[in-house]
Amino acid sequence: MGIQFKSVGDLMALLAAKEISSVEVLQDFIAQIEAFDGEINAVAARRFDHALALARAADDARMRSRPDELGALHGLPLTVKESFDVAGLPTTWGMVSRAGHLATDDADAVARLAAAGAIVFGKTNVPEGLADCQTANPLYGTTNNPWDLALTCGGSSGGSAAALAAGFTCAELGSDLAGSLRTPAHFCGVHSHKPSYGVVSQLGHSLDADSTQTDLTVIGPMARSASALRLLFDCIAGPSGFETVGWRLALPESRGRRLRDFRVAVLPDHGACAVDAAIRAAITGLATDLQRQGAQVDLEPKWPIDLELCWQDYMMMMRAVGSRRASVEALRQLSDQAAGLRGDDRSYRAAVRRAAGMTHHSWLSLNSRRGRFREAWQRFFRTYDVVLCPVHSSLAFAHDTASPREDRTIEINGRRQDYNQSLFWMAIAGLSYLPSTVRPISLVRGLPIGIQIIGPYLEDLTTLRFAELLDELCPPLVYPLQDAAEPEHAGFTSTQRHHDQSRRKACS
């Protein structure tokens, strides 16, 4: 396996042993990008020369320093989502109105990666305004899924996931309001972690120049291994700004060390949101494998809240967040349209319109119910340690950006379903601020399947540990470009895009 597909842990070990240099790692990533990104279109902004200078400095520092004097990510080249401020690079969120905007400072999370020794050499593509579970915008174009270029890579951290799956980087920094870390990880077969709300600073990840922490939104890592998620998370988590005066982060260690230590509640599908039969089968198969390993697995737990109501509340609160950037006139028009909706219309389209005119009193009522949901989940997690459920209703699907998001549908088990209905699976962890780690568990029809591992609030280390332990049951995927020839001698052939399925490793 080339350097491009090695894990963060393996790369750090090689760097520490001086078997490779930071310059060599970065040069390999650059070569991979130059060879293959023309068709994938994941890396939207680049600063290769600046990063090579930093890599040379990192190599020099390693030669003259003791290991304990270097950061946990010293000399590691990586990319971050385009929506994070990186000094000297554009932060556009894929919006034409921000085409000339250059960041003057690093976002908090980017600064923490840099403080740990990481070298940011590029930024990865996003949907316009981060407002889709596909990745396309008028500035940078469409990002394709490395497993099949005709399919979406997900969004809004879609460029991040595609870059990881294509071997353009070993680690990424993304964000999540409505599944933006989770859906791309599922579609592209990589790992991601949506932290408990408030654990990682949002500063420097906003269209507004203020210090407001946006409701529901979190910042989290992406990688090709669960162990890398833990390392990256440790580097970026903690208080920021004026918070550092009064508190320190001290998350509890994982509830279990081995698979047999865990009590697992499983939700393979739900009547409110149909799931592809292959995804359901992969999750129930994993549940069986966990039972064989000695884990306590419950396929029919009594859920602590009304999950469909959670989904409805989540859509309203998520759309309330989205209304922050809308004009007064746009909100008025949407609110007027809400008056004509049927009372039983619970679609995403309806939520967009109702949230536009939601009063503060109505929001407070939803927030109060969210508080009750959070208390109910805390009681539930006295009996269980993690919840396993789908990330999305479908596998990666064909690009579809021609029509408005609220008018789209996708096919699930031969039937058309609202494109936005998969927000049901985002709501469970999202509304109640719970941590969710996503990792690939299988490969079906040549495409990866991911699973959500949801845990108790502030017990991120439990979901991260469980994801890492699943390595015992789910061998690593062989990515589409992993066995390609050296970049300078290779072309992106049809055969490389669609590897023989028999050569891909996956869970049974």
The DSSP code for 317 is: H
Among 385, 399, 461, smallest CA distance to 195 is for 461
Distance CA 455, CA 138 (A): 37
Token code pair at residue 482: 């992993």
Q: How many CB atoms lie within 10 A of CB 64?
A: 7
Omega cis (within 30) before 7: no
Write a three-state SS string for 192-259. Answer: EEECCCCCCCCCCCCCCCCCCCCCCCEEEEEECCHHHHHHHHHHHCCCCHHHHHCCCCCCCCCCCCCH
Q: How many CB atoms lie within 10 A of CB 266?
A: 20
CA 213 from chain center: how many Å?
Answer: 19
Q: Provide the strand spans (E) within 53-190.
A: 77-81, 119-124, 136-137, 141-142, 144-145, 148-152, 171-176
Among 295, 289, 259, 296, smallest CA distance to 469 is for 259
CB 231 within 8 A of CB 73: yes
CB 97 within 8 A of CB 362: no
Among 1, 46, 48, 42, smallest CA distance to 23 is for 48
Q: How many CB atoms lie within 10 A of CB 16?
A: 13
Residues annotated as catalytic are 81, 156, 180
Distance CA 372, CA 374 (A): 5
* Amino acid making up residue 307: L
Distance CA 55, CA 73 (A): 12
β pairing state of 148-152 and 144-145:
antiparallel
**Beta-ladder partners of 417:** 410
Q: How many CB atoms lie within 10 A of CB 48?
A: 17
* Amino acid making up residue 140: Y
Q: What is the dihedral of CA 374, 380, 382, 384, to 10 degrees?
A: -120
Contacts of 342 (CB under 8 A, 6+ apart): none
SS3 category, 65: coil
